[in-house]
């Protein structure tokens, strides 16, 4: 066991971790930030996606000790300080981009990375970018739509096909 | 996962020293190693993270040679390498995987379905370690087998920039690894064709295609050609015959794209 | 309509805020003070005799609290099966024991042999590896037909064979069907497999058992679609805990798709172990563990024959199906290939006689049970594939052939025991033809061909039986439960309402849609209504959410309870206005006396109910809370028509979905946005089944697709945007909301459309391919083209 420290959603935090403690476990169990979910053990599902030093990573595929000293952002830090949903979160609600909600934190974190790098992604860009985030509920239709809407694009024609 | 210690050296020398311990193992980006550990398929006593070693970072192009630090992530390769290799790296896994996974880690693991081996065979590569330089042609030695010695670290990779090149990947539908991937590179002194995903022996150079393309560099030159299905991987996702066929298709598409 | 949305409004979901901000409360987010963790030692062989299990070394490992084996469970019951199917000879099915931990034998890879409870999950796993198990591996039976051969290795030694049942339906029609087939002008025959699937909700299963010694009561937190059913099954049949001593809580649940209906061994284990060690015990499944311990879905092999007369009218259908049960009977497994499948074999068509034979087979594989659609996708797939094949053989338009045979008069009693109350299959097909721009297909095909791709169009119809189910009917069919639903509507003094429902929401949005209904009925804002579900202590009896039953059955129970509340409130209002109840109307949250200007607001009435100063105490009690149980009189019958266009790469066999359009008739709609989302999700899963998903075993019973590395889940770039339309509406005639249910339609209607489209594409390229089994992976399509 060793004490590790990181800045999570702007707040310095620390806790004990073993060498084998995953970042996802450290966030969920030690820091009690349970918004980050774990949906697989092979790195495919992306429910555990967080940002480490500004880059999206799968927190179940990273050791907590690898994030020692890092800036970490999780779903809990995405809404504004006033509690208002971010534009991306609001678009997910507006366009019904979530159902059971389990993949949603990872989807939001992955989409936030996309929009930072590519403020006006095409449908193909969005679908490609989400290749590491599985959703079993939505058939992805409204997730893609919500992300495009959050980027300011008119998605009114999409539902009509 | 079994319990292990964690160490994060800041120089290659320190890393080599740390890897001298019994059952110590290097950790690149961990995108394959960590899932393997979760399945309890490996039990290192210590993981030595290479992520803090500044001298293993960076992607540079100078005098017709591309040099990639062993610790460069796929995302960094996708951003800064020459176009064909950048395109390959930009299609490995998914964005989060590319932000962690490193070229050194991938090459050290030598998964038979990984993308980089095809490129390294085609791009006249040199694998540079803390101890020596290994020609790409001598590096890959079968499934998950390489020329690396115990504790040896890939510090960088050098490739000769070709006149033209292209990588075509046909994805395994579940893992999105290469069911077949073909990297074609054209140099003044000849064409090199690297193939990954297909063979039970790991990545290989398709010499028949190279010969045909040296005679006539066009997709048509490969018409009807495919490597023998004998020795091709056959599994849930495709027979050996299918993989052999795909090698031909992907090679023609790569040539057509150059 | 209420300002913030009543029936028919696309109200935004209130549950979204917590999910979007990471503040949901899923079972794995719960940690009970003092909890220990369990890890299961699971069999790595498909079939074997357990000679011994030595736990002594494991028990001495660091952090280990206690090690359990099958012997610890000898005094308790096994996991019960909730449905007994009677075979064609009138005999009950063969029903093997299903122990919580293996006793004597292991019967599938993943069968739990022992369990270690320890201070941490990793310590529990470490200790599992120290358990010394001596197993003699036995030959495994994997293939269903091989399992039925005389002398085949038996999965259960105490059964007479691997045949669970041989079911004939309707047995009396068998002769008539044979005659019709013999006399047919044309018979189209097709053999096909409905591929085995893994539900894979994104949240893996979790169970936490907690025991309160002071009160001798137990609590189970679990990822369930139906906590009351788990309480009943586990309490009454496994652990012997009466319901008043057992509380089951299913908090936020991350998807189910059927796989979280069933009572699983891990739930019983955690509840049992918590009492045994007097500490809470938590189990969190990994995805790898889920692949070998969650019930799988589908896995039917069928031969279907469709007989037609000289005018192309359907005259008979005969099917023979082998249905894989896996190694044990999961909770509702026997009902899926029988009553949820055979009764739908008429589809949307007026075929006069039908005979369905189903042989359910035990194999050394994970148990198979309901997965989104459950039996109905299998029926639809066979029927719509064979119709498409018949149209091709006869050289007729597949839409015209379907239209010609549609049921058009309702109610319609099928030859397979159900009565469709209403529908308009031509109307739905009209919607589809327009929305899918079928007239533009040939131009699109030419454009694809110019790019070297083969383009195909596939169509199909579907009908499903939802709103499960009339209790007396299913009781006669072998169900060991009632299938009503209940709700309590509690009105507070200041007019706000809490609805406690036995339906469970795990993505369906009940917390939003159920209040829309109540708000509409009373004429108040939906924000005044709150939904509680998922806790047996706080809600009345509930049968849970599956079979597209929540709004049709749970919603109806809620409406009935609300009607009782409104009736009582009307009496109070009449008293306050000194009028007769018969003259009092409720509209927009105001009670008024017809023909006068007298009115009293909802809130004044509710306040009077709890502050009964001016109140008819001689006639009615104070308070305003009512409970209703609703038992449906029939199933509901959503139906639709789907169209899929694909492009096939002739060089690689890769299929890409280019367009997908769905026209559904769900009857009345509460929230169109949510209905669209349900259809989208179903289509996504159906495309997954058709192109990607394949749960495969090798001949030794090893699971080949044991993780997402080999089990291909649909991703965002595997699917297009979908066109969805539910404007064709024939309201259900027998429930108060006129609703039919929409949860499974997409998964039922889409696989045949995709397969039909791929066959069409290959035929257009000159390949005489009449069928490809799902999933139509690139390698399979390529093999079919080059076979």
CB contact under 8 A, A76 and C21: yes
State chain A's mean pLDDT as an integer: 96
Facing residue for C652 by CB, picked from B1, B170, B237: B170
In Å, how far from its chain's centre is CA C436? 28
Facing residue for A39 by CB, picked from C13, C204, C252: C204
A18 and A63 part of one domain: yes
CB contact under 8 A, C709 and B174: yes
Rg of chain C taking only CA atoms, in angstroms: 27
What CATH number is given to the structural domain containing A59?
A: 3.10.20.30
Contacts of B143 (CB under 8 A, 6+ apart): B110, B112, B200, B201, B202
A73 and A91 part of one domain: no
Closest by alpha carbon to A21, among A66, A70, A56?
A66
Report the alpha-carbon distance of residue B143 to residue B199 in Å, rounded.
9
Report the alpha-carbon distance of residue C133 to residue C711 in Å, rounded.
29
- Domain interval for residue A115: 87-150
Query: C716 and chain A: CB distance < 8 Å anywhere?
Result: yes
DSSP secondary structure string for all residues of B108-174: HHT-TT-SHHHHHHHTT-EEEESS-EEEHHHHB-STT-BSPPTT--EEEEEEEPPSEEEEEEEE-TT
Please list the alpha-helical segments (H only) found in chain B.
12-18, 33-38, 74-80, 83-89, 95-100, 103-109, 116-122, 136-139, 207-215, 240-257
Strand pairing category for C246-249 and B204-205: unpaired
Strand pairing category for C454-463 and A49-52: unpaired
3-state secondary structure string across C677-691: HHHHHHHHHHHHHHH
Q: Does residue A161 lie within any of the structural domains?
A: no
CB contact under 8 A, A19 and B38: no
Q: What's the pLDDT tens digit per position in B70-118?
A: 999 999 999 999 999 999 999 999 999 999 999 999 999 999 999 999 9
Averaged over A13-33, what is the pLDDT?
Answer: 97
Q: Please list every residue in chain B whose beta carbon sits closer than 8 Å to the beta carbon of residue C129.
A: 40
Instruction: Collapse the DSSP code of B187 into the 3-class scheme (helix H, G, I; strand E, B; otherwise coil) and give the result.
Output: strand
Burial of C564 (0-12, 13-18, 19+ CB in 10 A): middle
Share of chain A above pLDDT 90, in %: 93
State chain B's mean pLDDT as an integer: 97
Instruction: Collapse the DSSP code of C593 into the 3-class scheme (helix H, G, I; strand E, B; otherwise coil) and give the result.
Output: strand
Closest by alpha carbon to C256, among C665, C642, C668, C534?
C534
A44 and A96 part of one domain: no
HSE-up (13 A, CA, CB side) for residue B114: 28
Instruction: Collapse the DSSP code of C118 into the 3-class scheme (helix H, G, I; strand E, B; otherwise coil) and give the result.
Output: strand
B neighbours by CB contacts (3+ pairs under 8 Å): A, C
φ and ψ of B118, to 5 deg: -60, -40
Q: Per the structure block, which two tokens stand in for C681? A: 């999700």
What CATH number is given to the structural domain containing A108?
A: 1.10.150.120
Facing residue for B94 by CB, picked from A55, A66, A132: A132
Residue tagged 């590395």 (tokens): C709
Q: Per the structure block, which two tokens stand in for B202? A: 């790991």
Report the alpha-carbon distance of residue A116 to residue A41 in Å, rounded.
28
Query: Around Cβ C770, how many Cβ atoms within 10 Å?
Result: 16
Report the alpha-carbon distance of residue A6 to residue A15 in Å, rounded.
9
Helices (H) and strands (E) in chain A, counts: 5, 5
Query: C508 and chain A: CB distance < 8 Å anywhere?
Result: yes
Please, what's the b/e burial string for C255-290 (b: 16 or more CB within 10 A of its CB; e: otherwise)?
A: bbbbbbbbbbbbbbbbbbbbbbbebbbbbbbbbbbb
CA distance B246 to chain C (A): 7
Query: A1 and chain C: CB distance < 8 Å anywhere?
Result: no
Q: Please, are residues C306 and C185 in contact by the beta-carbon 8 Å criterion?
A: no
A19 and A59 part of one domain: yes
φ and ψ of B22, to 5 deg: -60, 130
CB contact under 8 A, B100 and A129: no
- The residue in chain C having the minimum alpha-carbon distance to the alpha carbon of residue A83 is C21
CA distance A20 to chain B (A): 6
A73 and A128 part of one domain: no
HSE-up (13 A, CA, CB side) for residue C251: 18
Facing residue for C13 by CB, picked from A38, A93, A143: A93
Instruction: Collapse the DSSP code of C36 into the 3-class scheme (helix H, G, I; strand E, B; otherwise coil) and give the result.
Output: strand
A57 and A95 part of one domain: no
Report the alpha-carbon distance of residue C568 to residue C609 in Å, rounded.
9
Report the alpha-carbon distance of residue C571 to residue C577 in Å, rounded.
10
A7 and A73 part of one domain: yes
* pTM for this predicted structure: 0.98
CA distance A113 to chain B (A): 9
Terminal alpha carbon distance of chain C: 61
Q: Please list every residue in chain A whose beta carbon sits closer than 8 Å to the beta carbon of residue C17.
A: 85, 93
Q: How many residues does chain A have?
A: 161
CB contact under 8 A, C507 and A137: yes
Cα dist from C108 to A147, B11, C206, C696, whole Å? 43, 49, 21, 13
Closest by alpha carbon to C325, among C352, C281, C360, C286?
C360
Averaged over B233-257, what is the pLDDT?
Answer: 98
Averaged over A27-56, what is the pLDDT?
Answer: 97
At residue C590, the pLDDT reads: 97
Q: Please, are residues C664 and C678 in contact by the beta-carbon 8 Å criterion?
A: no
Question: Where do the domains of chain B lie?
Answer: 5-49, 54-160, 164-257
Q: Per the structure block, which two tokens stand in for B186? A: 């054209």
Helices (H) and strands (E) in chain C, counts: 19, 31
Residue tagged 């951003």 (tokens): B79
A133 and A91 part of one domain: yes
For the domain with range B54-160, which CATH number is right: 3.20.10.10, 3.30.465.10, 3.40.640.10, 3.90.1300.10? 3.30.465.10
CB contact under 8 A, B30 and A61: yes
Cα dist from C64 to A11, B76, C547, whole Å? 36, 45, 42
Contacts of A157 (CB under 8 A, 6+ apart): none
C neighbours by CB contacts (3+ pairs under 8 Å): A, B
Mutate to test the interface with C, among A17, A48, A99 (most CBs of C within 10 A): A99
Contacts of C182 (CB under 8 A, 6+ apart): none
CB contact under 8 A, A66 and B51: yes
A48 and A103 part of one domain: no
Q: Tally C-beta pairs within 8 A across A and B.
A: 77
Report the alpha-carbon distance of residue B239 to residue C197 in Å, rounded.
22
The edge-to-edge listing of strands for the beta sheet with C599-601 is C584-587, C590-593, C599-601
Q: Please list every residue in chain C whose beta carbon sits closer than 8 Å to the beta carbon of residue A133.
A: 716
Instruction: Collapse the DSSP code of C602 into the 3-class scheme (helix H, G, I; strand E, B; otherwise coil) and give the result.
Output: helix
Report the alpha-carbon distance of residue C764 to residue C748 in Å, rounded.
26
A62 and A12 part of one domain: yes
Q: Per the structure block, which two tokens stand in for B189? A: 């002194």
Instruction: Collapse the DSSP code of C187 into the 3-class scheme (helix H, G, I; strand E, B; otherwise coil) and give the result.
Output: strand
Averaged over A78-92, what is the pLDDT?
Answer: 95
Report the alpha-carbon distance of residue C720 to residue C783 in Å, rounded.
25
Secondary element (H or E) of residue A146: helix A141-150
Q: Please list every residue in chain A whose beta carbon sits closer than 8 Å to the beta carbon of residue C722.
A: 139, 141, 161
- The residue in chain A having the minimum alpha-carbon distance to the alpha carbon of residue B91 is A128
A140 and A101 part of one domain: yes
Query: C125 and chain A: CB distance < 8 Å anywhere?
Result: no
CA distance B238 to chain A (A): 21
φ and ψ of C362, to 5 deg: -85, 135
φ and ψ of C592, to 5 deg: -130, 160
Facing residue for C681 by CB, picked from A20, A99, A161: A99
Q: Please, are residues C86 and C166 in contact by the beta-carbon 8 Å criterion?
A: no
Closest by alpha carbon to C254, among C25, C39, C32, C534?
C25
Rg of chain A taking only CA atoms, in angstroms: 16
Which CATH architecture does the domain made up of B5-49 adopt? Answer: 2-Layer Sandwich (3.30)
Q: Which stretch of A43-47, A157-161, B26-30, C730-734 has the lowest confidence by average pLDDT?
A: A157-161
Averaged over B23-31, what is the pLDDT?
Answer: 96
Q: What is the DSSP letter of A141?
A: H
Question: What is the number of domains present in chain A?
Answer: 2
At residue A158, the pLDDT reads: 82
- The residue in chain C having the minimum alpha-carbon distance to the alpha carbon of residue B43 is C126
Contacts of B223 (CB under 8 A, 6+ apart): B252
3-state secondary structure string across C271-292: HHHHHHHCCCEEEECCHHHHHH
Contacts of A82 (CB under 8 A, 6+ apart): none
In CATH, what number does B164-257 get?
3.30.390.50
Rg of chain B taking only CA atoms, in angstroms: 18
At residue A159, the pLDDT reads: 62
CB contact under 8 A, B96 and A132: yes
At residue A161, the pLDDT reads: 44
Averaged over A125-143, what is the pLDDT?
Answer: 98
CA distance A123 to chain C (A): 9
Facing residue for C202 by CB, picked from A45, A89, A96: A45
Report the alpha-carbon distance of residue B26 to residue B53 in Å, rounded.
12
3-state secondary structure string across C355-386: EEEEEEEECCCCCEECCCCCCHHHHHHHHHHH
Q: What is the DSSP letter of C639?
A: E
CB contact under 8 A, C704 and B236: yes
Residues of chain C with pLDDT under 70: none
CB contact under 8 A, C782 and B2: no
φ and ψ of C23, to 5 deg: -115, 20
CB contact under 8 A, B239 and C779: yes
Q: Does residue A123 lie within any of the structural domains?
A: yes
């Amino acid at each position: 066991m060793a004490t590790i420290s990181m800045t999570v959603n702007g707040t310095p935090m620390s806790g004990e971790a073993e060498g084998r403690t995953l970042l996802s476990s450290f966030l969920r169990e030690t820091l009690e930030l349970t918004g980050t979910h774990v949906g697989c053990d092979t790195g495919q599902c992306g429910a555990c996606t967080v940002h480490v030093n500004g880059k999206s990573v799968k927190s179940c595929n990273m050791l907590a000790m690898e994030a020692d000293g890092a800036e970490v952002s999780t779903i809990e830090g995405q809404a504004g300080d006033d509690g208002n949903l971010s534009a991306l979160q609001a678009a997910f609600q507006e366009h019904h981009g979530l159902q059971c909600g389990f993949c949603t934190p990872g989807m939001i974190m992955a989409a936030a990375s996309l929009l930072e790098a590519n403020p006006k992604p095409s449908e193909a860009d969005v679908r490609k970018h989400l290749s590491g985030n599985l959703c079993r509920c939505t058939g992805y239709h409204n997730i893609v739509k919500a992300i495009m809407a959050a980027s300011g694009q008119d998605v009114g024609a999409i539902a009509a096909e | 996962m079994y319990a292990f210690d964690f160490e994060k050296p800041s120089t290659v020398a320190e890393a080599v020293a740390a890897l001298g311990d019994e059952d110590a193992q290097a950790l690149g980006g961990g995108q394959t190693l960590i899932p393997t550990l979760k399945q309890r398929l490996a039990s290192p006593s210590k993981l030595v993270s290479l992520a803090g070693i500044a001298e293993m970072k960076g992607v540079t192009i100078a005098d017709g040679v591309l040099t990639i630090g062993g610790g460069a992530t796929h995302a960094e390769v996708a951003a800064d390498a020459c176009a064909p290799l950048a395109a390959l790296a930009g299609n490995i896994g998914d964005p989060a995987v590319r932000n962690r996974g490193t070229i050194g880690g991938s090459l050290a693991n030598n998964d038979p379905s990984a993308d980089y081996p095809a490129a390294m065979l085609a791009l006249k590569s040199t694998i540079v370690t803390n101890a020596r330089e290994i020609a790409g042609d001598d590096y890959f030695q079968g499934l998950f087998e390489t020329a690396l010695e115990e504790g040896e670290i890939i510090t960088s990779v050098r490739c000769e920039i070709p006149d033209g090149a292209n990588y075509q990947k046909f994805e395994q539908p579940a893992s999105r690894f290469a069911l077949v991937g073909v990297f074609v590179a054209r140099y003044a002194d000849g064409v090199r064709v690297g193939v990954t995903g297909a063979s039970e022996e790991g990545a290989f150079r398709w010499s028949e295609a190279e010969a045909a393309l040296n005679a006539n560099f066009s997709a048509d030159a490969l018409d009807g050609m495919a490597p023998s299905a004998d020795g091709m991987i056959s599994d849930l996702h495709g027979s050996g015959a299918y993989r052999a066929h795909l090698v031909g298709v992907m090679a023609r598409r790569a040539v057509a794209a150059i | 309509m209420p300002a913030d949305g009543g029936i028919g409004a696309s109200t935004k979901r209130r549950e979204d805020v917590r999910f979007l901000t990471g503040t949901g409360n899923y079972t794995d987010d719960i940690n009970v003070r003092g909890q220990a963790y369990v890890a299961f030692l699971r069999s790595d062989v498909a079939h074997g005799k357990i000679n011994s299990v030595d736990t002594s070394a494991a028990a001495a490992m660091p952090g280990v609290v206690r090690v359990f084996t099958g012997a610890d469970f000898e005094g308790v019951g096994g996991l019960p099966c909730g449905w007994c199917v009677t075979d064609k000879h009138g005999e009950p099915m063969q029903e093997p024991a299903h122990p919580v931990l293996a006793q004597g034998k292991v019967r599938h890879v993943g069968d739990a042999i022992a369990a270690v409870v320890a201070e941490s999950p990793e310590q529990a796993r470490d200790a599992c590896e120290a358990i010394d198990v001596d197993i003699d591996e036995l030959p495994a039976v994997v293939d269903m037909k091989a399992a039925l051969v005389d002398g085949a290795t038996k999965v259960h030694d105490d059964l007479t064979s691997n045949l669970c049942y041989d079911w004939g339906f309707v047995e009396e029609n068998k002769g008539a069907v044979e005659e019709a087939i013999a006399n047919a002008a044309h018979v189209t025959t097709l053999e096909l497999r409905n591929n085995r699937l893994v539900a894979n909700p994104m949240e893996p299963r979790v169970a936490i058992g907690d025991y309160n010694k002071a009160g001798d009561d137990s609590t189970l937190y679990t990822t369930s679609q139906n906590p009351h059913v788990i309480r009943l099954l586990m309490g009454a049949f496994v652990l012997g805990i009466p319901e008043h001593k057992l509380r089951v809580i299913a908090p936020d649940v991350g998807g189910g798709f059927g796989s979280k209906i069933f009572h699983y061994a891990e739930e019983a284990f955690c509840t049992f172990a918590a009492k045994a060690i007097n500490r809470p015990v938590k189990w969190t499944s990994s995805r790898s563990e889920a692949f070998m311990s969650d019930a799988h879905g589908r896995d039917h092999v069928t031969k279907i024959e469709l007989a037609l007369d000289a005018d192309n009218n359907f005259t008979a259908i005969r099917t023979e199906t082998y249905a894989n049960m896996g190694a044990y009977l999961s909770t509702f497994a026997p009902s899926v290939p029988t009553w949820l499948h055979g009764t739908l074999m008429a589809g949307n068509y007026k075929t006069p006689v039908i005979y369905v034979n189903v042989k359910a087979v035990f194999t050394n594989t994970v148990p198979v049970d309901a997965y989104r659609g459950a039996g109905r996708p299998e029926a639809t797939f066979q029927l719509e594939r064979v119709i498409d094949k018949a149209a091709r053989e006869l050289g007729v338009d597949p839409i015209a052939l379907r239209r010609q045979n549609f049921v058009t008069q309702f109610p319609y009693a099928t030859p397979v025991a159900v009565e469709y109350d209403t529908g308009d299959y031509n109307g739905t097909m009209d919607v589809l033809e327009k929305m899918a721009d079928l007239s533009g297909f040939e131009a699109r095909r030419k454009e694809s061909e110019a790019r070297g791709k083969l383009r195909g169009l596939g169509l199909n119809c579907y009908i499903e039986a939802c709103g499960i189910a009339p209790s007396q009917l299913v009781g006669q069919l072998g169900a060991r439960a009632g299938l009503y639903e209940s709700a309590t509507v509690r009105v507070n003094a200041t007019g706000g309402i809490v609805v406690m429902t036995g339906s469970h929401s795990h993505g369906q949005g009940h917390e939003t849609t159920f209040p829309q209904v109540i708000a509409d009925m009373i004429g108040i804002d939906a924000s005044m209504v709150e939904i509680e579900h998922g806790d047996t202590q706080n809600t009345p009896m509930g049968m849970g959410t599956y079979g597209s039953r929540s709004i049709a059955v749970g919603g109806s129970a809620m409406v009935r309870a609300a009607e009782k509340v409104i009736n009582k409130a009307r009496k109070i209002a009449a008293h306050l206005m000194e009028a007769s109840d018969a003259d009092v109307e409720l509209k927009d949250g105001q009670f008024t006396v017809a023909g006068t200007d007298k009115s009293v607001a909802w809130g004044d009435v509710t306040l009077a109910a709890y502050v009964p100063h001016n109140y008819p105490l001689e006639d009615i009690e104070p308070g305003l809370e009512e409970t209703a149980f609703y038992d449906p009189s029939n199933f509901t019958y959503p139906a639709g028509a789907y169209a899929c266009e694909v492009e096939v790469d002739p060089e690689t066999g890769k299929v890409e979905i280019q367009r997908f359009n769905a026209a559904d008739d769900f009857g009345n709609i509460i929230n169109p946005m949510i209905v669209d989302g349900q259809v989208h999700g179903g289509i996504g899963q159906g495309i997954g089944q058709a192109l990607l998903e394949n749960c495969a075993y090798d001949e030794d019973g090893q699971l080949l697709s044991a993780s997402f590395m080999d089990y291909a889940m649909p991703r965002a770039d595997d699917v297009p945007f979908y066109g969805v339309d539910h404007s064709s509406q024939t309201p259900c005639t027998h429930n108060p909301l006129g609703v039919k249910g929409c949860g499974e339609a997409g998964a039922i209607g889409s696989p045949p459309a995709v397969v039909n489209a791929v066959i069409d594409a290959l035929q257009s390229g000159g390949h005489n391919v009449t069928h490809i089994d799902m999933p139509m992976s690139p390698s399979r399509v390529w093999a079919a083209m080059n076979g």
